A and B are shown apart, each in its own frame.
Chain A
């Protein structure tokens, strides 16, 4: 098991390098750089900038170096925890991101839990009550969940709240807590607002989970060992939970690998629509303003988060199914 875990952790190193490369290249993609941005601002203020000043600035920020040197420099800084400067906020990036990143993690993880719990129970129910009214209802719901983009669901819910009840359902905190420091009351206030983004984000994922769980349990239910266990007189619930559900759990746990990138993606759009104080709106703003250090930091950290999530799911899976460890 330890060997497996260390192997998986080692595998993450090339992945991390790849991610940092992608994030860095994204900074480089748009035409121009930080200096041409600064100069454009100075010139719009009426000042004329000499070529010598431009060169000095380039030199100061290390922009006159070749691409690979700049990458190494940037990566080195990132490893030391220095993510560069946000142009729009004129602050170090690291001061801007942590709270938002933490909230993104909170929302994504709670949604994942919510998706799993619902998917788990409803999936088992649907499988054991195949072709019942409840099964059909859940199947229909999951089709809707898959077909409607989540940002549309968010808009429709916000619209209902606004025009029927006259309340604004967007945001994650009540007004009095929005910029208050963290406290127990603020935490409770957040819990009060959390259910809606959770619901919106969870709809698509839950639908998928229900389908997977249902199909897996159905596959197992008709195998001979189930009949044997039943013939031995094992109680139905115990029989169900002890064997078929346990086998069906594997694809379920491994689904975290694709559920997490999807959740973080989905959360990005939804938080823009619902103006949640997570990474989404800040990332969008940073991209629009070409605030590239801020944007690339988000891209980097969101991808790293996903990688860690995948790692955890792999370890869980190995713990659940020892065959994986010995198969390596």
Chain B
């Protein structure tokens, strides 16, 4: 840790700072370095928000994501506003929507009626739900007059369902499938990467060739083939688990390589040799000396592996091979965007794609920040 890097933090004086650096733990040093990576900090905050949505979407969403209004197919977004010609309004309001039949195409088209304001209501009773499958409630963060037609803050899909509620609901599957997939990959990766790096020789050779083999198969076709074998009538939870497994089939190879590489290079380090000379047992050397010095790297690699898992689930569900409706994930929502005509009619169908991009970028930046912070030689 160079001291001029730390000197920039104004709260500490130079001398105190140097003392602080001497006694700071590895994690403390990492945190100091990480804090300076602005994009990574912003991304971390964004991800915390994203996972809060994952936990509480039932409460945050104005409607039940399966509730539909047949008269509101592809209804346009009614964004909440604070101002209109007559000044500031509180609570925020949306303009009412009017359906008009086009005399030529006979299609229902919508116009925004600027003369009617529908006020937003906070902490309202709405569609009932069961939070985490246990807590029954009908409280929603916000909503609109329950007797009036549904209000679509981000527009409606082709069945007349609220896109905002569906987007929030999709967050749960889309963001956790990455975590679950990486968890399984990590277990496999540590197991095989560790064995490979620790024993070396024939075992290492076999495992490395296997990894090369798995990586040489084009992933998407393989995933497509495997997930096509999932019966369509499986319950959501089982499909979810199957998909995580399928994604991990390939995901573990990357992590196993990273872990093996770290293991191999650490075996040569002086402090490992010193521990061995001091008579430490192999187990103690691994757990006490080697594992702590590569956990930070592993965490960074994991963070960088999550976005590709999220993308893969989205791609598979987009093709109709992943999660199946009525399950809701960003990929399932994007299925409706396969029809270019629908997208032209209702561009808001692409919003789940925006969510995917944001989540992926946030994880990438966070991973970059963590990797830089974890590397003691980085500047």
Contact = CB atoms under 8 A, between A and B. Distances in A.
B99 interface: no
B344 A162 contact: yes
A283 B215 contact: no
Contacts of A40: none
Secondary structure at the B interface, as helix, strand, loop or mixed, is helix
Contacts of B240: none
A288 interface: yes
Given A15-B213, A159-B344, A273-B338, A288 B221 contact: no
Interface in A250-265: 257-258, 261-262, 264-265
A159 B315 contact: no
Contact of B222 (A148, A155, A266, A299): A299
Contacts of B209: 14
B364 A147 contact: yes
A170 B340 contact: yes
Of residues B321, B344, B350, which shows the largest number of chain A Cβ atoms within 10 Å of its Cβ?
Answer: B344
B191 interface: no
A283 B221 contact: yes
Contacts of B361: 143, 147
A284 B357 contact: no
Contacts of B225: 26, 29, 287, 295-296, 299
A294 to B, nearest CB: 11
Contacts of A296: 225
Interface string B338-365: 1011011001001001001100110010
Contact of A283 (B217, B224, B315, B318): B224
B179 interface: no
A307 interface: yes
B219 to A, nearest CB: 5
A177 B166 CA distance: 42
A312 to B, nearest CB: 13
A226 B362 CA distance: 38
A51 interface: no
Nearest to A28: B229
A265 B215 contact: no
Interface string A232-251: 00000000000000000000
Nearest to B321: A287
Secondary structure at the A interface, as helix, strand, loop or mixed, is helix
Contacts of B231: 31
A298 interface: yes
Contacts, number: 120
Given A155-B337, A156-B350, A302 B314 contact: no
B347 A287 contact: no
Interface in A261-310: 261-262, 264-266, 268-269, 272-273, 279, 283-284, 287-288, 290, 295-296, 298-299, 302-303, 306-307, 310
Contact of B221 (A146, A258, A264): A264
B196 to A, nearest CB: 18
Contacts of A146: 364
Nearest to B311: A149
A221 interface: no
Interface in A127-178: 143, 146-149, 151-152, 155-156, 158-159, 162-163, 168, 170
B228 interface: yes
A46 interface: no
A159 B315 CA distance: 18
A9 interface: no
B218 A162 contact: no
Contacts of A163: 344
Contacts of B213: 15, 18-19
B229 A269 contact: no
B319 interface: yes
A155 B215 CA distance: 28
B221 A298 contact: yes
B220 interface: yes
Interface of B: 209, 213, 215-222, 224-226, 228-229, 231, 311, 314-315, 318-321, 334, 337-338, 340-341, 343-344, 347, 350, 353, 356-357, 360-361, 364
27 contacts: A19-B217, A22-B222, A29-B226, A30-B229, A149-B311, A149-B353, A151-B318, A152-B334, A155-B337, A158-B340, A158-B343, A159-B340, A159-B350, A261-B218, A261-B219, A264-B218, A264-B221, A265-B219, A268-B218, A268-B224, A279-B221, A284-B224, A288-B320, A288-B321, A290-B228, A302-B218, A306-B217
Given A295-B225, A299-B225, 17 more contacts: A19-B217, A26-B229, A29-B226, A29-B229, A30-B229, A147-B364, A148-B360, A149-B353, A151-B318, A152-B350, A155-B337, A159-B350, A162-B341, A265-B221, A266-B220, A269-B319, A288-B228
